[in-house]
Structure 1
């Protein structure tokens, strides 16, 4: 059973810290009210799983969930370049950097809810750690490399099943980028979960513009489809039985060049504006990734074992939820809350330094 008081203390420490978060550091912070060994046992004694996490956040989710809620799926890499390699701390391809990086690959499932008067809340519902427990030989280099026993898409489908049928979370849309836009995921969301998807899609995916052409096997690449910019239409995506709403969004990049984004949704009643508005809320998961790393010390723990590394992730997500609740209550954003904590700490340091200088007449 989890030590609730120590969890509360540890998550406060993660939110308050501006450097590495260690058992020794927390013990010193509380003047040994909890010892280094007690804190270490808290992180290493048992596994804190997504089920444990759900028990911590269930009451918060129940307060904000709605039938039209949005669940956003995305992954991030918690970089750990100096940590010894194991089944979860290993090399992963980071598409944001277009290279392999060493760290922990996390799949995150985030609930987004916007309220009136500009208030909003982003709550991580669950996570999956990509564990590369198998070892295989690269056919090109003949070197051994790590491999996960489950694909990310399989992990996504299983976690969505749990969130929908076991946790019984109320939501309507599942939003994700093109990395998760496989036909298996789309079919699973519609036929098994009975939810709607909104996602980006690569330009080489093929569609039919009518049921007749679908039946005749006449598919064309999305990029070749005659679709005016910033409009939508119904099409039949190859591999899916039902029609989908396809939107073509044209935008200007920072360098002045034009970019094209193809979006697709199983909710065929959506207008172009509604579809793009829902998809753009996917950016909230990127903000979450940045915030949980910067504000909840996700990347600041020097834990060395798989269990303690996973348990630190659990605690960081709990800390983020605490920060999100503070944001909603104070109506101050996460960055401002963290800055206020930093300023208070700096003022305390300055005061202590002034007293020392006075004491020794320096």
Structure 2
């Protein structure tokens, strides 16, 4: 969290006064698992009644040559497939609005699994560990029939994005793409093929129309499930994007220089734990904003350097005219 540029073994050895090899041995020796992250997170969360979000992000590694787990993955930032690692996360928001990652996977071709397989595995794990969410949400990548049925079979509500060409039925025997429907603000009841009744919502995000399907465990709840309910779930779902941004910009999850699979996984685990610690400080009001907190770490250092550097440098100031505050 405190390193402004690159969290490497050499840099930690300089800061802590320990050998570079001891840091490297630590990364090679430990074997942290997703359950270890869950154990850290559950201390700070209400495990019942929240919203479980699934999404993935690409960790850019454009110059890697012999680094494990690196492949080509779609990047929303670059709007194309780029070279890097793919991190899939289950991100939980409890009823009090506190949010933390509770399970994760780093895509590995050797597993011979898709991201949807990872989602189903991670969902089964967190439920076995004691998490009891009321809803699950995800983007259109995770809205396949099998995923939706898996969530529904666990007696959970769901809200997943769907592509504009996904077909549903309003009248029996007639199938139409969701983009061609007139969807009211309070949603539209439709029938999803091979699944059942769902409520369709439409929203605009980044100048683009997006469609979401909501399914409730109790069919009688649809009459009162309207725009406000959808917006609350959507806001919680969007929180995982903020998590991805902070994980990269503050917790340095992309900035490592190890090549092996084990040290890479241990670095990513450490970055996730850093995020948990930042959120804990925010929950206890020790900090308000993680970005501001990290900036303030270096404010005094920079100020000390500037005040010590200025004496004897006044001849470098412009001599043409007096500065005017316009």
Give yes or no for TM over 0.5. yes
**Contact 2:183–2:200 (Cα < 8 Å) also in 1:** no
2:24 equivalent among 33, 40, 50: 40
Q: Do the aligned partners of 1:199 and 1:279 also contact (CA within 8 Å) in 2?
A: no
Structure 2 contact 138–160 (Cα < 8 Å) conserved: yes
Question: CA offsets, 1:133-190, max 9 Å, x none?
Answer: 3xxxxxxxxxxxxxx61011011011011011x2111321111111111111110000
Q: Is residue 185 from structure 1 mapped to residue 185 from structure 2 by the alignment?
A: no
Which residue does the alignment assign to 2:244?
289
**Does structure 1 residue 332 correspond to structure 2 residue 293?**
no
Partner of 2:183 in structure 1? 227
Question: Which is further off, 200-209 or 313-322?
Answer: 200-209
Taking the aligned partners of 2:125 and 2:54, their CA distance within structure 1 comes to 14
Match of 1:194 in 2: 155
Q: How many residues align?
A: 305
| 8 A Cα contact 2:287 2:293, kept in partner | no
Match of 1:274 in 2: 229
Q: Counterpart of 1:244?
A: 198
> Tell me, what secondary structure is at the counterpart of 1:281?
helix
Is the 1:83–1:302 Cα contact (8 Å) retained in structure 2?
A: no
Deviates more, 1:91-100 or 1:305-314: 91-100
Shift of 1:280: 2.7
SS in 1 for 2:24: helix
Q: Distance between the aligned counterparts of 1:346 and 1:127, measured in 2?
A: 37
Corresponding residue SS for 2:109: coil
1:67 CA drift (Å): 3.0
Retained in 2: the 8 A contact 1:87–1:132?
A: no
In structure 2, the residue corresponding to 1:162 is in which secondary structure?
Answer: helix
Q: 2:101 aligns with which of 124, 131, 136?
A: 124
Aligned counterpart in structure 1 of residue 17 of structure 2, from 18, 27, 31: 31
1:3 aligns with: none
Contact 1:84 1:304 in 2 (8 A): no
Does 1:208 pair with 2:169? yes
C-alpha distance in 2 between matches for 1:231 and 1:262: 13
1:79 is aligned to: 60
RMSD: 2.4
1:138 maps to what in 2?
A: none
Q: Which runs of 5+ in 2 are unaligned?
A: 217-221, 313-326
User: What does 1:63-78 align with in structure 2 at a 5 Å threshold?
Assistant: 64-65=45-46, 67-78=48-59
CA apart distance, 1:200: 1.3
What is the distance in 2 between the residues matched to 1:344 and 1:132? 46
Could you tell me whether the CA contact under 8 Å between 1:327 and 1:337 is conserved in 2? no
For residue 98 of structure 2, give the secondary structure of its aligned residue in structure 1.
strand
Counterpart residue number, 1:4: none
**Counterparts in 2 of 1:123 and 1:251: CA distance versus 1, 3 Å:** closer
TM-score computed with the length of structure 2 as normaliser: 0.86
Q: Which moved more, 1:86-95 or 1:41-50?
A: 86-95
Task: Provide the rounded CA distance (Å) in 1 between the counterparts of 2:239 and 2:293.
Answer: 18
Identify the match of residue 267 of structure 2 among 297, 300, 312: 312
Matched residues in 1 for 2:166 and 2:276: separation?
Answer: 37
SS in 1 for 2:242: helix
Determine the structure 2 residue equivalent to 1:54.
38
- Cα pair distance change 1:283/1:250, threshold 3 Å: closer
CA change 1:155–1:251 in 2 (3 A) is: closer
Relative distance call for 1:251 and 1:292 in structure 2 (3 A) is closer
1:266–1:85 CA distance, 2 compared to 1 (3 A): farther
